[in-house]
Amino acid sequence: MREVNLAGVDLNLLPALEALIRRRNVTLAGRDIGLSQPAMSRALARLRALLGDSLLVKAPGGLAPTARAEALLPQLSASLDRLGGVLRPPAFAPEALDRVFRIVATDVHALLIGPPLLAAVRQLAPRARLSFVPISADVRERIQTGDIDLAFATATMPLPPGVHSEPLFEERLALVARRDAFPEDKAWTLAEYTAANHATVAIFGDRASEIDAELAQAGLARRIVFTSPHFLATLAAVAASDCVTTLSATLARRFADTLGLALYEPPLRQKTLTGTMVVAATRADDPGLVWLRQRVRQAARKAYRE
């Protein structure tokens, strides 16, 4: 029996062979797989040379398959179907999703986006789990290596090559104080703002922020007397002191009545921030992550809608 070196076989010939045997007509077989009649004739010639068999011979009414061709047809059809299954992406079924999604988030993201996201995941993919983990200084590297699946950030966060960032929501900033600390209708000036005692959120343990950068450009600085890596702790500190803070208006409104807080317009140029969702570019097409990111978008719209 003649041995065929598979490494030297043009796999594009296999669909042509199946169509030729099935159709018994060069022109019709070519139409089925998108080849012209001359191209199909050349494919037939190559197949005859490859297999050492005529495959199709002239007969009354057209072409007739040889015994070898007749025997090949069922094997070809089954093989092409299996090969197509290998090349086709698997069908995605959320209900079969059994994995842990690791999400880097601050407490504000976990508090506002986490609940509606969990509700959607539990309903649609009950075997999936969410693990919210704190931000660390190596978050960019952890995204790239796949140690985490997704991270919440802001549009101004510098990202390394190979990391994909997508705008998620637009958020207004609020100047927040204890409700009885200042007049309800107070319009803050920049001088009053910088003279106040401030509580701030320091994610990485430092005091650097875009607010302080804006003030520095005007030769001003805040008097920061309290820092925390947690937004909710910062609000609680404000509720128990004469301090003010500047953070998410959505979060502050959520706890204004519970903590006795008042919200004011901050006297700043930059009064909004863009929240983003960050993933590794190499994993952007992961079916599970594609599905999760859509759920995150929906949860963010629900959390930050006015």
Q: What is the pLDDT, as a whole number, of residue 113?
A: 95
pLDDT of residue 2: 52
Residue spans in the chain of domains classed CATH 1.10.10.10:
6-87
Q: Mean pLDDT lowest for which of 162-166, 170-174, 192-196, 219-223?
A: 162-166
In this prediction, residues 131-142 reach a mean pLDDT of 87
pLDDT in tens, 113-124: 999 999 999 999
CA dihedral 138, 142, 145, 146 (to 10 degrees): 180
CA distances from 58 to 44, 46, 55, 63, 66 (A): 13, 18, 10, 5, 10
CATH class of 6-87: mainly alpha
The pLDDT of residue 215 is above 60 = yes
Closest CA to 150 of 302, 304, 248, 290: 290
Q: Which segments of the chain belong to CATH 3.40.190.10?
A: 94-169+273-304, 171-272
Report the mean per-residue pLDDT for the chain: 87
The pLDDT of residue 199 is: 96
In the predicted structure, residue 165 carries a pLDDT above the cut 70: yes
Q: What CATH number belongs to 171-272?
A: 3.40.190.10
Q: What is the CATH code of the structural domain delimited by 94-169+273-304?
A: 3.40.190.10
Burial, 46: exposed, middle or buried (Cβ in 10 Å; 0-12, 13-18, 19+)?
A: middle
Give me the mean pLDDT over the 77-106 stretch. 81
Place of tokens 């994995």: 99
pLDDT digits (tens, 9 = 90+) for 291-306: 999 999 999 999 987 4
Whether 8 shows a pLDDT value over 50: the answer reads yes
Contact 152, 105 (CB under 8 A): yes
Determine the average pLDDT of the residues in 4-8. 52
